[in-house]
Amino acid sequence: MSLDEKLAQLVGVWLNVNREEGVVAPLQDSMQGEDVQFEAFAKDGVGQITRHFGTRPVDPEWARTALAGRQRWLRENTRLGIPALAHEECLTGLAAWRATTYPVPPAWGASFDPALVEEMGRRIGESMRSLGVHQGLAPVLDVIRDQRWGRVEECVSEDPYEVATICAAYVRGVQSTGVIATLKHFVGYSNSRAGRNLAPVHAGPREVADTLLFPFEVAVRDAGAGSVMNSYAEIDGVPIAADSHYLTEVLRDRWGFEGTVVADYFAVAFLHTLHAVAEDAGDAAVQALTAGIDVELPTGVTYLEPLREAVADGRIEESLIDRALRRVLRQKAELGLLDDDYDPEPSGPVDLDDPASRDLARRLAEESVILLTNDGVLPLAGDRSVAVVGPNADDVAALFGCYSFVQHVLPHFPGVETGIAAPTLLDALRAELPGARISTAKGTGVDDGDRAGIPAAARLAAESDVAILVLGDRSGLFGRGTSGEGCDAESLDLPGAQRELAEAVLATGTPTVVVLMTGRAYAVPSIVGKAAAVVQAYFPGEEGAGAIARVLSGAVNPSGRLPMSMPRGTAGQPYSYLHPKLGGAGSVSNLDPAPVLPFGHGLSYTRFEYAGLTAEAEVAAGAPIRCSVVVRNAGDRAGAEVVQVYAADRIASVTRPLAQLVGYARVELEPGRAAKVTFDVPARLLSFTGRDGRRVVEPGEVGLSVRRSVADVVGERTVTLTGPVYAFKGSERRLTGVSIEDHN
């Protein structure tokens, strides 16, 4: 291969990008060149085709045929005839027009159901595969650290173990279809200063190793993820895109990763333009390639001419280009793109929003709805007058996150229909409560600050038997929303005049059910304290309105649990329940960081009782710990309980969290039925980075507890770890084993 042919395989090409149609990537307007002509760009071949389906609203069947035409052109008109690998965004489903849109990742976390997330991943992979797409840019494994960060809505949880288990399930689902999953954003991105997008990160090596890296390690070593995307972050002054410690030493040498590392869009060029650690585009390319970034996305800003010049003047050895090239070609070979009989021609009908996918979106949405408080007003019953008020009550956009096609692309194409059937919550309530007399008023917008409609909304509530107040976010990109990429929050008060609307409605004395449709957790202590019931739904997707309505009516028994703590105020950020003793309330500060509602919290319309907690009294440090508990549905209707197991290292050589999730199980039980749930907690989850930088399990006492939430302890046992310090070798790949047996 010539040098130009090699470099062509290390870049993407982004077609049909029109600056006038809006920005969907950071600084796209300044980084993306003029309209690209495919044949001229790809004369020597091309590594990837960027977002063929996800840049504009195009008919999927037509676009599939057009993509096959591009591949056929590469086979027939380039010297080597190597097809391109096509990638798309797929965080809430394939980000293409008319494709099923699922709930956002915090809803996956709220479900505590990895099996269902794996099924969703498989459906998403099948939809991509049917179109000729080979790689999906998901999931996001960033651990939530600060609720002000706009990209919280793309993250699963504030707990690294839950992030790891949920995202590993997603990876297995997608890759079971022959499509590559891409882990984002490696690493540290969510730990940005002040919760600002693309801001510096200052995290110690222990925090990075024990909290931020752990989900990636599981997804690479346990789930076999095929690709990793670098983070835009700079940790302690070193941009990840130029950091060989993480991209090579940790990812490849320590974890054995053999896939490809792809650049987040324009991240290589950002080494020069944003981080100022490279003197020009060529220097940026040299640093990124040397560190371990194999493919530049979305297009060849630095890895084409600037990198070719760097080879010519001796700034980089061609052997490093060959290293990345071998990884790219090996992946293409594994995908069948290098086979002599590779056929890009499409076959079979295209239905990206088929009934099975919609049913899956419904099930995940239903499992993710969280009942936060309830004084008995829910479930709604009887022929009642119901006031449905609030900015998100009758707005279909309130269902979708910023990486859905509806919010990511369609705002730049006004007048184009969503392409999927998605009723608003008001529509869904009218269908679900046919005997109710429903009236409605908006009251105020999400963030427009308009107060003119608040008195009318309050009067409507006062005249009704019950009020449903629908508040929350509007997702968008780069300041065009209240949640989403580049939509960071100065305050965790509800946006705009929504708090005033809530105060006016609650002051009427009418029993009020508050529904929060958001991308993050807001600080709403007064609402939690005064409302008759509060329901949390993170952007629940196209089937989300019906799911919420069925929870309100009682047709669905809520089972979601908080994947992130609900804060008391903005001043407590950044916050994680995984804090050491010094991170809690104390007499030395007047601020109490405790959340209003804790991680893992959620109510049901039935009652669950626990009994018979057992745990081994002594085990050798480094050996797994077995514990079991019996959970019984003591109510009068079927329901699902999320059994949670936490560990607490009582005395250690470094400060440790007061509690740390090490296992969970979603247990579905009929009334009166019971199950025995057994957990085998491996040493991997009890290990931490000691003072000498080694990952160890130390002898001593560990409190092992079963809880309804991190703050609601059912029972605790003390387990003594015996013997010498166990040095974690890194080869152990076990996560907590769970078995559920009938116990009646």
Cβ atoms 624, 682 nearer than 8 A: yes
If one counts every other C-beta atom within 10 angstroms of the C-beta of residue 436, the result is 21
Query: H or E stretch including 742?
Result: strand 737-742
User: In angstroms, how far apart are the furthest CA atoms of the chain?
Assistant: 80
- The beta-strand segments (E) located in 231-335 are 234-235, 238-239, 260-262
Measured distance CA(391)–CA(474) in Å, rounded = 10
Cβ partners under 8 Å of residue 89, min gap 6: 51, 54, 95, 136, 137, 138, 403, 408
Identity of the residue numbered 167? C
Which listed residue (113, 142, 159, 264) is catalytic? 264
Measured distance CA(263)–CA(25) in Å, rounded = 13
Cβ atoms 168, 222 nearer than 8 A: yes
Measured distance CA(591)–CA(603) in Å, rounded = 28
Measured distance CA(703)–CA(700) in Å, rounded = 10
Measured distance CA(671)–CA(681) in Å, rounded = 29
Cβ partners under 8 Å of residue 683, min gap 6: 621, 622, 623, 624, 697, 726, 728, 732
Cα-flanking dihedrals φ and ψ of residue 380, to 5°? -65, 145
CA-based nearest residue to 153, from 484, 414, 602: 484
Measured distance CA(640)–CA(570) in Å, rounded = 33
Measured distance CA(89)–CA(568) in Å, rounded = 34
Measured distance CA(25)–CA(29) in Å, rounded = 9
Cβ atoms 718, 701 nearer than 8 A: yes
Angle formed by the axes of helices 318-334 and 305-312, to 10°? 140
Half-sphere exposure (Cβ direction) of 592: Cα atoms closer than 13 Å: 4
Q: What's the distance, CA 426 to chain centroid?
A: 27
CA-based nearest residue to 500, from 389, 420, 645: 389
If one counts every other C-beta atom within 10 angstroms of the C-beta of residue 253, the result is 11
What are the C-alpha distances in Å from 720 to residues 648, 654, 704, 723? 12, 18, 10, 10
Q: Is 142 a catalytic residue?
A: no
Measured distance CA(87)–CA(11) in Å, rounded = 12
What are the C-alpha distances in Å from 29 to residues 23, 111, 236? 7, 38, 29
Cβ atoms 665, 642 nearer than 8 A: yes
CA–CA–CA angle 80, 86, 89 (5° rounding): 160
Q: Is 243 a catalytic residue?
A: no
CA-based nearest residue to 401, from 101, 120, 142: 101
| DSSP calls for 389-454 | ESTTTT-GGGG--TTSHHHHTGGGSTT---SS----HHHHHHHH-TTSEEEEE--S-SSS---TTH
User: What is residue 243's DSSP assignment?
Assistant: -
Cβ atoms 230, 188 nearer than 8 A: no
Which listed residue (59, 202, 222, 351) is catalytic? 202
Evaluate the CA torsion angle 693, 699, 701, 704 in order and state its sign: positive
Instruction: Supply the residues annotated as catalytic.
Output: 202, 264
